[in-house]
Each structure stands twice: as C-alpha cells, then as structure tokens.
C-alpha cells in the first residue's frame, strides 16, 4: 500500500496531472475545483491547495485518509477545505475510483430551479439519467446545525457524508445510483471508475447542460409566438441507461486528444 507520493507509479501521477490540466482546458474548473483518485481502499490523492491548471509535480500532490479526510503526512502542504467531498464519496461507494468537484457555470443554474432538473439530452451524457439529484446544503445540513457558518462549503465529514447520500444507494459493484449530484448554488460532484472516465463525465455533464439550456431558450422563444409549447425530447429511462452504459465507455477515444491539447499548451507543465 502506497503511504507516500514517492511510492506511487509515475504513470498514474502523470494521468492525474493531465486530468487536472484537461479539466481546466475544457472549463470544468478555473482556479477552484478539484480532482482526486483513490490509491487504495483507505487512501486517496489530491493536489494541494492550488489551481488545477498549475499542478505539475509530486510536490503538488498530497495523500489523504478516506476515513478522516485528513492528510497522511502531518507536514503536508495545505489542502482544499472541501476534500471531505472526496473522502465521504469514497467511503460510501467502494467502487468509485475518481471524483471531481466542479463549479461549472453551465451546470450551476440547474441546481437552482427544482422544476427544471438537469437530465440526459445528448448521447454522450446518458449517465446523467432522467433527473440529476440536487443536494441543498441548507435543507440537508444547516437546518440541523443553525450555528454553523453558511459558507456553502463542504468542509467537514458530516457535510460530506450528507452530500454523498444524494448520489443514492450503492449497487453490487459499489457504485452510486447517480454518477453526478448537483450542489445548490455551488456546483456538482462527479464520480467515475478511473481518472479518464470521471474527467469525461465532468466534461460531458457541462456539455449536456449547455445543450439543455439552449433547448430551453428555443422552447421559450417559440412559446411567445405559438399557443402550443413544444415538448423537449429528453432521453427516456432506457435510452439514458443504454447510452450511459455504452457511449461513455468511449472515454478512451478522446483522452489522447485531450492530452495532446494540454501538452502543446505552454500554460500546462509536467515535471515528472
């Protein structure tokens, strides 16, 4: 079991750093947001408190306990306050191998209108299903903790565990029923079985949100000139299930392209 960054395979570290860069390149994250990868049943890896685009070396990486969300090394550099999103998702779903937290502005609006849930409408995002759940920090945590600072940050294990429940029950493979959950007025958490898979899901979640917003605008425009508001042809449950099971497995196809994009961009550096 790896207990220090020095003991972790360089190929995995390079994939992790590429993942951080790709998320930024595709506007899944800006200076904020983070990617993690499970190293073992009890340990996960994240970068230190820094913009994902600037992650470049082992010195930028920290190992954390799944149980506590705390760094294994007491002298580790400062980490993200919302690392408990990751630790509690790993704790609840043993099949999850990678987690992303994003503040994508394409996605956040869908956390604010309960009657307009984010749902699969493009084939690359069938994993979203027929309605993505929304976790509300106030309803789920602050009402039970009225003295807590309402920063909307998931900065302790109890909040992280509450958020993890929004992904619903684990299946026989230890994976959540929902791959994605939105966070009201904040962002979303995305889960996957590998770095490549979770990055693809995070990207296509944002793409789906963009398409859905455009479609909603089209429907709104047409309803001003016609008494008949057209239906939006979202995916039904079977379509979402089948595309979610098959299409996203093609995450291996865009990955080399995404790596090439960030490798050729001088903003992103790799010092391994």
The pLDDT score that the predictor gives to residue 223 is 52
How many Cα atoms within 13 Å fall on the side-chain side of residue 127? 30
Residue of 10, 82, 196, 239 marked active site? 82
In 3D space, the residue among 26, 13, 100, 125 whose CA is nearest the CA of residue 60 turns out to be 13
User: What's the CA gap between 177 and 170, in Å, rounded?
Assistant: 6
The pLDDT score that the predictor gives to residue 249 is 74
The pLDDT score that the predictor gives to residue 2 is 67
The pLDDT score that the predictor gives to residue 230 is 59
User: What's the CA gap between 215 and 218, in Å, rounded?
Assistant: 5
The pLDDT score that the predictor gives to residue 228 is 53
pLDDT in tens, 172-200: 999 999 999 999 999 999 999 999 999 99
The pLDDT score that the predictor gives to residue 13 is 98
The pLDDT score that the predictor gives to residue 69 is 98
Nearest-10 Cα torsion for 234, 252, 40, 8: -150
In DSSP terms, which residues pair with 190 in a beta bridge? 100, 180
Weakly modelled stretches of the chain, pLDDT under 70:
1-2, 221-230, 250
The pLDDT score that the predictor gives to residue 85 is 98
Question: Are β-strands 43-47 and 61-65 bridged in parallel, bridged antiparallel, or unpaired?
Answer: antiparallel
The pLDDT score that the predictor gives to residue 261 is 98
Question: Which CATH number does 5-251 carry?
Answer: 3.40.225.10
The pLDDT score that the predictor gives to residue 220 is 79
Backbone torsions φ then ψ of 194, nearest 5 degrees = -165, 170
Give catalytic status of residue 261 as yes or no. Answer: no
In 3D space, the residue among 137, 87, 124 whose CA is nearest the CA of residue 202 turns out to be 124
């Amino acid at each position: 079991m790896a207990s220090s960054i020095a003991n972790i395979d360089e190929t995995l570290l390079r994939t992790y750093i590429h993942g951080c860069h790709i998320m930024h390149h595709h506007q899944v994250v800006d200076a904020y947001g983070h990617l993690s990868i499970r190293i073992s049943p009890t340990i996960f890896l994240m970068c230190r408190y820094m913009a994902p685009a600037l992650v470049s070396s082992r010195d930028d990486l920290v190992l954390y306990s799944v149980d506590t969300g705390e760094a294994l090394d007491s002298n580790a550099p400062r980490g993200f306050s919302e690392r408990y999103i990751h630790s509690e998702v790993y704790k609840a779903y043993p099949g999850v191998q990678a987690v992303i937290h994003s503040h994508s502005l394409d996605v956040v609006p869908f956390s604010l209108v309960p009657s307009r849930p984010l749902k699969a409408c493009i084939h690359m995002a069938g994993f979203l299903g027929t309605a993505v759940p929304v976790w509300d920090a106030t309803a789920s945590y602050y009402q039970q903790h009225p003295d807590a600072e309402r920063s909307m940050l998931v900065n302790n294990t109890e909040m992280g565990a509450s958020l993890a429940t929004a992904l619903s029950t684990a299946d026989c493979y230890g994976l959540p029923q929902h791959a994605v959950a939105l966070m009201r007025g904040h962002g979303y958490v995305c889960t996957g079985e590998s770095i490549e898979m979770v990055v693809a899901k995070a990207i296509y979640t944002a793409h789906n949100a963009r398409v859905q917003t455009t479609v909603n605008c089209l429907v709104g425009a047409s309803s001003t000139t016609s008494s008949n508001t057209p239906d939006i042809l979202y995916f039904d449950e079977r379509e979402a299930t089948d595309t979610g099971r098959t299409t996203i497995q093609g995450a291996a196809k865009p990955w080399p392209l995404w790596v090439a994009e960030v490798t050729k961009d001088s903003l992103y550096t790799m010092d391994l």
